[in-house]
Structure 1
Amino acid sequence: MEYKNLDVWIETRKLTKLVYDSTKSYPKEEIFGLTNQMKRSSVSVPSNIAEGCVRNTAKETTHFLFIARGSLFELETQFYLSLDLTYINNEDFKIISNQIILCKKLINGFINYYRTKQ
C-alpha cells in the first residue's frame, strides 16, 4: 500500500505543519523545551505511519501505527500544556485539537483495518 496516498498520512502531515506554524510564536526559552518536543512528536506521527506501511506483516505495521498513535496523544497533551501556559490562544487550540481528533480517528481506523489482517 502506497502510504503517500493515505488520508491518515496526509492529515498527519497537515497537523505537523500546524504544529510548526503555531510554535513559531512560543517564547524563545521554549525552543529547546516544549517547542522542540512538540515538533518531534508531530514529525513522529506521519513518519511512523510511513514506516509501518512498508513493513512485511500486518503485525509489524500495527506496531508502528500504535507508536504513531502514542505520539499523537503525546502531542495532544503538549498542546493542553501550551494552553495552560498561555502559549496558544483558545481559537488556535481548537483548530489544532480538531485536527488531532481527525488524525486519531484515521489512525484508529487504520489500526482496526490491520488488526483484521493478523
Structure 2
Amino acid sequence: MKPKSYRDLIAWQKAMDLAAEVHPIAVSFPKHEMFALTSQVNRAATSIPSNISEGQGRRSTGEFIHFLGIAKGSLNELETQVTLALRYDYIPDSVHDRILEHTNEVGRLLNGLIDALERRQQHR
C-alpha cells in the first residue's frame, strides 16, 4: 500500500532532520566557501528529502524507485562534501562523525524503502 503522503515516510522525516542539521554547519564555513562548498552541501542535503517527496508523488513505483536512487546519490555527495569540510578543518571530527551517523541512518532507510518497493513491484 502506498503511503498517503511523503510526510508519512520515515526516510523523508529523517532526511528533513539531516538537512536541518547540516544547514547551520554549512553556513558556518568560511565566507569564501559561500558559493562553493557551503552551497554544494546545502544543495545536496536539500536534494535528499526533495527527491523522496517528488518520487512519492509520481505515478509509478518504478519512478518512485528512480527518485529514491537520486536521493541516495545526493546522500553520497553530502557525505563526500562533509568529509572534505573535515579535511579542510572547517568542522571537527565530532561533527563529521555525527553527520555520517545520520547519513548512514537515512541510507539504511532509503535502501529498505527501495527493497520494499522492488519486492512489491515483483509481486504484481
The TM-score range, normalised by the shorter chain, is over 0.9
Alpha-carbon distance in 2 for matches of 1:110, 1:59: 12
**What residue ranges of structure 2 are gaps of 5+ in the alignment?**
none
Alignment check: 8 A CA contact 2:27 2:34 kept:
no
Structure 1 vs Structure 2 CA RMSD: 0.8
Identity %: 39
Aligned residues: 118
Does residue 37 (structure 1) correspond to residue 46 (structure 2)? The answer is no
Does residue 21 (structure 1) correspond to residue 34 (structure 2)? The answer is no
Report the TM-score, using the length of structure 2 for normalisation. 0.92
**Alpha-carbon deviation of 1:48?**
0.3
**Alpha-carbon deviation of 1:83?**
0.5
Does residue 56 (structure 1) correspond to residue 59 (structure 2)? The answer is yes
Alpha-carbon distance in 2 for matches of 1:92, 1:53: 31
Alpha-carbon distance in 2 for matches of 1:21, 1:99: 15
Q: Which residue of 2 aligns with 1:6?
A: 9
**Alpha-carbon deviation of 1:21?**
1.4
Give the secondary-structure state (helix, strand or coil) at the position aligned to 2:115: helix
**What residue ranges of structure 1 are gaps of 5+ in the alignment?**
none
- Greater Cα radius of gyration, structure 1 or 2: 2
Alpha-carbon distance in 1 for matches of 2:97, 2:10: 21
Give a deviation string over 1:47-69, Cα, whole Å, max 9, x none: 00001111111111100000000
Report the TM-score, using the length of structure 1 for normalisation. 0.97
Q: Which residue of 2 aligns with 1:95?
A: 98
Give the secondary-structure state (helix, strand or coil) at the position aligned to 1:56: coil
